[in-house]
Amino acid sequence: MTHLHQGRPPVTHPGLPRRGAARADRGAAAGDRKRRGGPARLVAARVAGLLAAGLAGALALAGPAWAHGADAPDGTDYRTVVTSVTPALPGLTVRVVESGARLELTNHTGRAIEVLGYRNEPYLQVGPDGVYQNLNSPATYLNRTLDGETQPPADADPTLPPRWQRVATEPVVRWHDQRTRWLAEQLPPEVRADPRRPHRIREWTVPLRDNVTPGRIGGTLDWVPPPAPVGWWLGTALGVLVVVAAGLLAGRFATVALAAFGAAGGATAIALATGRQLDAGADGLAGALAGLPTGQTWPLLTGLAAVAAGAYALARRPAADFVLTLGGGCLALFAGIANASFFARSVPPVPWSGGWARFAVAVVLATGAGLALVGMLLMRAAGRAATEAPVTGPAATEASATGPSPAKPDRGAPTAGQAPAGSRGATELGSKP
């Protein structure tokens, strides 16, 4: 007890351990380990907070943009192609967007062009003052969804005069059209007979009208055999091992290698996002890049984060292993797994070949997962090293001054120099501080 020691120092013996000192040494050692890990944990917590706040804000901004075109497929095994537009008027263009899910018509001719519905009734009118849809056309309702499941109301009579409703102010319109796609759940008969070969399913036509002059959009629908996804997943797993090996075995070049992988994975993710914007109907490369913040928010953010994580590690900043783990994990999840359907689809939603698109997804997945795994292994190694590191500072100095502790003496017999049992000094040596 503290009051027993007032007025005179406690009786001690140089050959016996001091229990209070031992506890102080252990407390000092624990505090020293906390001080060693403190800055890294503080930086990691700050980085995590900033990233979480940024991602939450991006999600709030991205909500309305993601709702646009929500029924666009992540890939298909049918290729829709526009082959002709007649009459060939300057300023009138038609193209396929969203992997064939929609047609896009742009009319800069200066006069109104009508798209006819499934019963040759006026369905859409595109002119200098914008786009109008006919509320009496069943196509107005059937084309609202990709599967055409919206039933027209009873008063939608295609034989009645058009009831035009303005839906846009620009002379550009995109719409689902059942004539350009295969809607049945079963595969076409020729595909069921031989699914590993390409097949021409049909040639399709969408009628147009320029005032009283008839026109048409012509195109083709083909079956493209899907790839074998197992090979792409195995290649991705091999890529993960390459990234991990580079991060753990490359010695002094490991940081440079990880930074390079982060830059490559992030740039590939941004390229994939740009391709998806182009397939969704962006007006050229400039329009696709301008639309990335709202149309491809998560892939853009995670791609930039992967590049930043590599640069952060290259600068050898505190908590670099945590930043690699977080950046790589987000890259693999939001830009890799989100596009993993490319491995099983022959026509992905990008304007280049399916093979290159699948290779890009494999690169993103491999670099993202590899960086995350390397970061976790480095964090584990750093935590183990901090736990096993020797104690330094005042606690270590005091422990070395007292020397090694001898074997515990027999409490039944007093040792040399020890006060007899029952004396004040003996009580103080055996008492707990």
Q: What is the DSSP letter of 347?
A: B
| CB neighbour list of residue 292: distance below 8 Å, 6 or more residues apart | 270, 273, 274, 277, 300
Question: Which of 227, 247, 259, 246 minimizes the C-alpha distance to 362?
Answer: 227
pTM above 0.85, yes or no: no
> Could you give phi then psi for residue 333, rounded to 5 degrees?
-75, -55
Res 391: pLDDT:
55
Query: Cis peptide leading into 87, omega within 30 of 0?
Result: yes
Q: How much helix, strand and coil, in percent to the nearest 5, is found in the chain?
A: 50, 15, 35
Q: 10 Å Cβ neighbour count for 208? A: 23
Task: Please answer whether residues 79 and 347 qualify as being in contact, where contact means their C-beta atoms are separated by less than 8 angstroms.
Answer: yes
| CB neighbour list of residue 40: distance below 8 Å, 6 or more residues apart | 318, 319, 322, 382
Res 5: pLDDT:
40
Structure tokens at 151: 């039933």
Res 201: pLDDT:
97
* C-alpha dihedral, 328 to 334 to 338 to 340, nearest 10°: -10
Report the b/e string of 107-128 with b at 16+ CB within 10 A. Answer: bebeebbbbbbbeebbbbbbee
Res 227: pLDDT:
96
Res 202: pLDDT:
96
Per-residue pLDDT of the chain (433 residues; tens, 9 = 90+): 444 444 444 444 444 444 455 444 555 444 544 444 444 444 444 444 544 544 444 444 433 333 335 567 889 999 999 999 998 999 999 999 999 999 999 999 999 999 999 999 999 999 999 999 999 999 999 999 998 888 999 999 999 999 999 999 999 999 999 999 999 989 999 999 999 999 999 999 999 999 889 999 999 999 999 999 999 999 999 999 999 999 888 777 888 888 899 999 999 999 999 999 999 999 899 999 999 999 999 999 999 998 888 888 788 777 777 888 888 999 999 999 999 999 999 999 999 999 999 999 999 999 999 999 988 888 888 777 777 666 555 555 555 545 555 555 554 444 444 444 444 443 333 334 4
CA distance linking residue 99 with residue 147, whole number of Å: 14
| DSSP strand pairing (130-134 vs 164-168) | antiparallel
CA distance linking residue 66 with residue 77, whole number of Å: 24
Residue 24: CA count within 13 A, CB half-sphere: 13
Res 6: pLDDT:
44
Q: 10 Å Cβ neighbour count for 310? A: 29
Res 394: pLDDT:
55
Question: Which of 136, 203, 150 minimizes the C-alpha distance to 125?
Answer: 136
Structure tokens at 13: 């013996």
Res 138: pLDDT:
96
Res 189: pLDDT:
96
Res 389: pLDDT:
60
Q: 10 Å Cβ neighbour count for 248? A: 15
CA distance linking residue 400 with residue 1, whole number of Å: 27
Task: Please answer whether residues 294 and 267 qualify as being in contact, where contact means their C-beta atoms are separated by less than 8 angstroms.
Answer: no
329 CB-contact burial (10 Å; exposed 0-12 / middle 13-18 / buried 19+): buried
Q: SS3 letters for 302-319?
A: HHHHHHHHHHHHHCCCCC
Report the b/e string of 83-95 with b at 16+ CB within 10 A. Answer: eebeeebeebebe
Task: Please answer whether residues 226 and 345 qualify as being in contact, where contact means their C-beta atoms are separated by less than 8 angstroms.
Answer: yes
Structure tokens at 398: 């005091």
